[in-house]
Chains A and B, each alone.
Chain A
Amino acid sequence: MSTKKIIYLDHAATTPLAPEVLERMLPYLKSDFGNAGSIHTKGQSAKNAVESARRKVAEILWCEPQEIIFTSGGSESDNLALRGTLKKGDHLIISAVEHPAVLQTAEALEKEGVELTKIPVERNGILKVGKVQKAIRRNTTLISIMLANNEIGTLQPVREIGKFLQKNHPEILLHTDAVQAGGILNLDVRHLKVDLLSLSAHKFYGPKGIGVLFAKSKVKLKPQISGGHQENGIRAGTENVAGIVGAAAALDLAEKNREKESIRITKLRDYFIKKVLREIPKAQLNGDPKIRLPGNANFSFYGVEGESILLRLDFTGIAASTGSACASGSLEPSYVLQSLKIPHEWLHGSIRFSLGKSTGKQELDQVVTELKKIIRDLRELSPLFE
């Protein structure tokens, strides 16, 4: 591999572990290796670390420590939220642009006899609260709407849905997949008015393989992994102590800088979007221009294919992501972009740039320069651009 500096603009995929988080984790990978279930000193030291992490996460989410369940990641949290609350004959409402962890779990549950309604989004990628309200039936038990979309970054009106439910249907549970929002948006569950919320630590500079599910104490979750008393009997398995410590440390660190960093990244994003749309002809931004994650810029470029753009970018040392069919491994372009009703000539040429801690203005300028050249080259090859 070359040693040239990589411009990493794929923070929505994952983020690097923050050095100060690693420092906090190290003791639990080395000397403090005890099992949190053991009664001896080493065990109790691990248990204390886990419980202190739980309190820290609860503090940031404004909930009780016993309402925090540590899991193996965002996908497990989503699975537990859905499978743990739904049974045959129940009705579940989700948005059509949920992450596969929710979408495919919902579809699997549908095969097991759960009724499923998928609410389509508008052309800006946001769903209308009214459509959710109308979809409610007598047997609706859970509504699961993501806080921010992983591809186009658009924010969903979760709080508005929460408010409506609190007033009109307090018996219906509200879950939000907040994986993309962790460390970036306000996660106060009282403000969001949600009963369940999923997080994944590696999206906010924490370690991979560790997630969080907030479940209000009134929610009776059916365990999906059995065989132990851990996590209040809801999630069996020896605690991932270093991971749990890392997740809490990372969330704490992100929360401390959250508002300042959010303003900085939003400014950079808007600068980048404006520059790309100004300098590259036939380019469009996907998703709402303002109601989106601070760091998300998802573009479509007419007449070129996303994987080609992505690989050319990679050769110049720029890491991004695409929703094109050729890159997904499936043969279909992203269902999220399809739901925005983007024409095919645009749909296949989508690129997601997700900004983060390491992103600066100078790098974004460099990306625009390279991108401009790459799109021009690929369009010269494209029969759609004669």
Chain B
Amino acid sequence: MNDWPYSEIVKKHFLHPQNFLRDGEKFTADGVGEVGSPACGDVMKMWIQIKNDRITDLRWKTFGCASALAATSMLSKMVLEKKGMKIADALKITPKDILKRLGGLPQNKIHCSVLGDKALRAAIENYREQKGAPKKDTPKIICSCLGVSERELDLAIAAGDRTFEEFQKRTKAGTGCGRCIEKIKKMLAEKIDEYSDKSCCDFCQKKCPQKK
């Protein structure tokens, strides 16, 4: 009989989290990223050290439930395996990858695992800015609990999403405090409306006889 609602791996990482920043520990970071908000019940902060385009060390702190803590711990383990991940590879980590390594999470807990990779991305972005890389347009966040940006909404519409539910399935937007749902629904409707004013030719890159 299993009385524990999560996998053994989740349990291990929850009870013995790895690579978190201990009180009083000195850690010189090349980049720092923080996402989430106390209102949603999840905040994640990540510090990274970079050498030759590799993340050679990292530390984290997470305010959140057991799933959120275990997911951040697992992410840190994934990044630091094999002498540290290349930045380019680290940027490719998705919540799905973390979930897989955790041995899954209960359905209503999946949203707890999606902040870790965003915190990591924010830290990498911060590192690049310090290196003098042109500051990217900071994406406008439309769901602050899960760090979902307006750009993700645009991409989702381009990929065919037409309802909020489809968008939510894709990005988990609005599964935190839920205060953004009405706003996103409105944005989605406006954007779809905006798109429908244009013909498909406005988007099509191909040359074809039909193109005016």
Contact count band on A:
20 to 34
Given A324-B41, A344-B38, check contact A1 B3 (CB 8 Å).
yes
How far is it, in angstroms, between the C-alpha of A348 and the C-alpha of B42 when the chains are bound? Answer: 9
Q: A307-B65, A308-B64 are in contact. Are A332 and B38 (CB under 8 A)?
A: no
Binds B, one of A112-120, A351-359, A376-384: A376-384
Whether B20 lies near A326 (C-beta < 8 A) is no
Shortest distance from the beta carbon of A381 to any chain B beta carbon, whole Å:
5
A1–B44 Cα gap in the complex (Å)? 33
Say if the beta carbon of B157 comes within 8 Å of chain A.
Answer: no
Partner of B177, one of A311, A324, A332: A332
Contact, CB under 8 Å: B67 / A381: no
B15 smallest CB distance to A (angstroms): 7
Tell me the smallest distance from the CB of B110 to a CB of chain A, in Å: 12
- Sorting the interface of chain B by its residue count into under 10, 10 to 19, 20 to 34 or 35 or more gives 20 to 34
A326 near B65: Cβ-Cβ < 8 Å: yes
- If over half of B's interface residues share one DSSP class (helix, strand or loop), that class is named, otherwise mixed; here it is mixed
Chain B residue contacts of A329, Cβ below 8 A? 108
Which residues of chain B in 94-136 are interfacial with respect to chain A, using CB atoms and an 8 Å cutoff?
108-109, 111-112
Known pairs A315-B15, A326-B67; A348 contacts B41 (CB<8 A) = yes
CA distance A305 to B39 in the complex (A): 12
**Beta-carbon nearest neighbor of A346 in chain B:** B38
A277-317 Cβ-contact flags toward B at 8 Å (1 or 0): 00000000000000000000000000111111001100100
A333 contacts across to B, CB distance below 8 A: 41
A129 at the interface (CB under 8 A from B): no
Tell whether B57 is near chain A: CB-to-CB under 8 Å: no
Q: Is A132 an interface residue (CB 8 A)?
A: no
CB distance from B184 to the nearest CB of A (A): 15
- A383-B22 in contact (CB<8A): no
> What separation, in Å, do the CA atoms of A119 and B8 have in the docked complex?
45
| A305–B38 alpha-carbon span in the complex (Å) | 10
